[in-house]
């Protein structure tokens, strides 16, 4: 369990921005995310997985496109192509435990996420609830 946040958290996602989909990193999915994304795209799950998912016993992640330098194949000009069913980590960003529990990491993320520092003050309880959902949904990452 990390330390409780003791700094001011403001965040408002900026319209038209997709920087968090472009930073280097992996997008992990829950089993439910995989099923929802396949259904949303109208693909049988096996077909969707063969094309887009890399899985091991304990985790599933989106395969990065081999060409074009994109981090995620679902990012297009209009934003996230699976927005209504985007994976938990995408939906909860930037309220990840490693960010809301560390002033240093929060400030570091603010350098590239233009939504951090904008909008209303976020209740600390709300931020920690979202961070808790991350721990729950990705137990192997946060054990
Ligand atoms: S980088 Fe920040 S402001 Fe931009 S889309 Fe992601 S969360 Fe929203
Ligand atoms: S799934 Fe959507 S929100 Fe998540 S990284 Fe890909 S394009 Fe971005």
Provide the 3-class DSSP secondary structure of residue 101.
coil
Under 8 Å between Cβ of 105 and 98: yes
Q: Whose CA is nearest to atom 5 of ligand 2?
A: 21
Cα separation of 113 and 96, whole Å?
14
Q: Write out residues with Cβ below 6 Å of ligand 2.
A: 21, 27, 72, 74-75, 80, 82, 86-87, 90
Q: Whose CA is nearest to atom 7 of ligand 1?
A: 13
Give the distance (Å) from ligand 1 centre to CA of residue 11. Answer: 9
Give the distance (Å) from ligand 1 centre to CA of residue 57. Answer: 31
Q: Look at residue 69 in the predicted model and tell me its pLDDT.
A: 82
Ligand 2 atom with minimal separation from the 75 CA: 7
For residue range 14-69, list pLDDT tens digits in order.
999 999 999 999 999 999 999 999 999 999 999 999 999 999 999 999 999 988 88
Cα separation of 116 and 105, whole Å?
12
- Ligand nearest to the backbone CA of 70: 2
Q: Look at residue 1 in the predicted model and tell me its pLDDT.
A: 46
Ligand 1 atom with minimal separation from the 118 CA: 3
Burial class of residue 9, CB neighbours in 10 A (0-12, 13-18, 19+): buried
Q: Look at residue 107 in the predicted model and tell me its pLDDT.
A: 97
Give the distance (Å) from ligand 2 centre to CA of residue 87. Answer: 7
Question: Which phi and psi (to 5°) does residue 107 adopt?
Answer: -70, -35
Q: Look at residue 6 in the predicted model and tell me its pLDDT.
A: 72
Mean residue pLDDT across the chain? 94
Under 8 Å between Cβ of 43 and 73: no
- Please tell me the pTM assigned to this model: 0.94
């Amino acid at each position: 369990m990390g330390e409780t946040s003791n700094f001011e958290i403001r965040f408002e996602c900026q319209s038209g921005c997709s920087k968090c989909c472009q930073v280097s990193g992996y997008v992990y999915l829950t089993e439910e995310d995989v099923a929802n994304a396949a259904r949303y795209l109208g693909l049988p799950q096996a077909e969707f997985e063969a094309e887009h998912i890399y899985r091991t016993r304990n985790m599933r992640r989106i395969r990065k496109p081999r060409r074009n330098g994109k981090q995620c194949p679902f990012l297009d000009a209009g934003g996230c192509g699976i927005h209504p069913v985007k994976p938990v980590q995408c939906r909860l960003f930037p309220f990840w435990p490693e960010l809301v529990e560390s002033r240093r990491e929060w400030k570091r993320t603010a350098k590239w996420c233009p939504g951090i520092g904008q909008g209303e003050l976020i209740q600390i309880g709300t931020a920690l609830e979202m961070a808790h959902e991350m721990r729950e949904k990705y137990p192997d990452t946060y054990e």
